[in-house]
Structure 1
Amino acid sequence: MALPPLILIPGLLNDAELWRDQIAVLADIADCRVADITQGESLEAVARSVLAQAPPRFALAGFSLGGYVAVEMARIAAERIERLALLDTSIQPDDPERAAARQIRDRAARAPGTFHGFGDRLLRTYLSAAHLKDEHIVGRIRGMTQRLGAEIFLRQNNILRKDGAGVLAGLTCPVLILCGEEDRLTPLAEHQAMARLVPQAQLVTIPGSGHMTPIENPGAVNAALRDWLRSRR
């Protein structure tokens, strides 16, 4: 008997390595497929590209930028999504402060020399303090950024983020909203606000983790995803 499909959407400058631990542990209950979001100049274009490669119905999990893509997929084709998980992400539209921060990162990426992706300063916003010196975790993150490179960073960084509140409020499928306890990039308060929009949502906080929960605390993330995949409407 075929396993139900689960589409996993990585975040900015992430590839399938982000989901390595989830794919391994959930393989007994889901057919895990990692979406490619390295092409496309808008959320709609990226979402439609993922939908074009997806089966008629599927479970969907999006991390960080991938959460924005997942919500955009729900905006376009909610009837195809059997359940939705949003990890360390946001539904807030771009505002001047967010846009300015991305412009600063753009200039750094365009600067002469080697593109380093997540440098030490940026890592401090992505990881919990306990993981900043964890060579295994840092190595996995830097490996992804180096494989994808400056061109993909610039493309993804310049995708306009949309307001997803109306989409979330209209969902009727099982929804998991998950956040690292020490996530400074997309804080817990934002996830609590997201959960309040969806009466059937389950909110899970991952202890000892910053923004990169699938890598920082894969055991807790795997357990939450397994419960979500088994949940009923």
Structure 2
Amino acid sequence: MAARATIVLLHGFTQTGRSWDPVVAASAERYRALAPDLRGHGAASARRPVDFASIEADVLALAPPRFTLAGYSMGGRIALDLALRGDGTGAAQERIERLVLIGASPGLEDPTERAARRAADDALAHEIERDGVEPFARRWAAQPLFAGQPPVVAAAAHAERLRSTPDGLAASLRGVGTGAMEPLWDDLPALRVPVALIAGERDAKFRAIAERMAERIPHAELHVVSGAGHAVQLERPEVVAALL
């Protein structure tokens, strides 16, 4: 019997590797899944530094020589940066068989907008350090981005957020937040691997971003998941498992 392919799953900001459990359970017979807690989160809350290069080195050390790489939101940004920049030699993309990006963005193109977002991320990091995780988690969940989540999904997401520390989440915002990311829009045509872009039907912002990305990536497929919002893998794990 042939060995199962490996897929590495990168979670979003405030989540942990456990957030992928429903997806993994729906497709355990099809592939071997690795879903680590990324620096600043869960069991890796205390790991430093928290930046793109360090997290990507962790992923490459964990993964086998060839693997599929999937990421949601923050995890999608990290996955995309790893595929395009990796260790700086281009060798990382040679190890990736397929890239799956869920509710992900290549970053903010406008320098002024990026600087404003970096300042906002830093202010939010200070807020988490001051108030603790639980008050922040409730405010974070109230964003329009997560509107319409089924109660069971929202409850699971809240429990996930409580598994991280204030210092860890603050470090993540400052190190790999949207404001800290160098934009990758101009690099997208350099992706040589097949790319699946997944967005929720209710997630108008990231659906539009995925549509723009699909126009620039040579081998891209866009999948809009009906009835889902931003966190597609939480709301429709069976669909994401099938797409993986």
For residues 198 and 114 of structure 1, the distance between their equivalents in structure 2, rounded to whole angstroms, comes to 37
Aligned to 1:22: 23
For residue 182 of structure 2, what is the amino acid of its counterpart? Answer: K
Residue in structure 1 matching 2:242, options 203, 223, 226: 223
Cα separation, partners in 2 of 1:166 and 1:80, compared to 1, 3 Å: farther
For residues 114 and 32 of structure 1, the distance between their equivalents in structure 2, rounded to whole angstroms, comes to 28
Aligned to 1:175: 195
Q: 1:199 Cα shift? A: 2.6
Aligned to 1:158: 174
Cα separation, partners in 2 of 1:64 and 1:195, compared to 1, 3 Å: same
Aligned to 2:229: 210
Q: 1:155 Cα shift? A: 1.3
State the identity as a percent: 27
Contact 1:10 1:19 in 2 (8 A): yes
Contact 1:10 1:18 in 2 (8 A): yes
For residue 137 of structure 1, what is the amino acid of its counterpart? Answer: V
Aligned Cα root-mean-square deviation (Å): 2.0
SS for the counterpart of 1:7 is strand
Q: 1:127 Cα shift? A: 1.7
Aligned to 2:105: 90
Q: 1:121 Cα shift? A: 5.6
Output one character per residue of 1:50-85: Cα deviation in whole Å (capped at 9) or x when no partner: 111211110000111111111122122110101000
Contact 2:203 2:229 in 1 (8 A): yes
Q: 1:183 Cα shift? A: 2.2
Aligned to 2:44: none
Aligned to 1:190: 209
For residues 61 and 198 of structure 2, the distance between their equivalents in structure 1, rounded to whole angstroms, comes to 26
Tell me the TM-score normalised to structure 2 length.
0.83
SS for the counterpart of 2:182 is coil
Residue in structure 2 matching 1:101, options 86, 101, 120: 120
Residue in structure 2 matching 1:146, options 144, 162, 170: 162
Q: Which range moves more in the overlay, 109-118 or 6-15?
A: 109-118
For residue 210 of structure 1, what is the amino acid of its counterpart? Answer: G
Tell me the TM-score normalised to structure 1 length.
0.87
For residue 47 of structure 1, what is the amino acid of its counterpart? Answer: E
Aligned to 2:69: 60
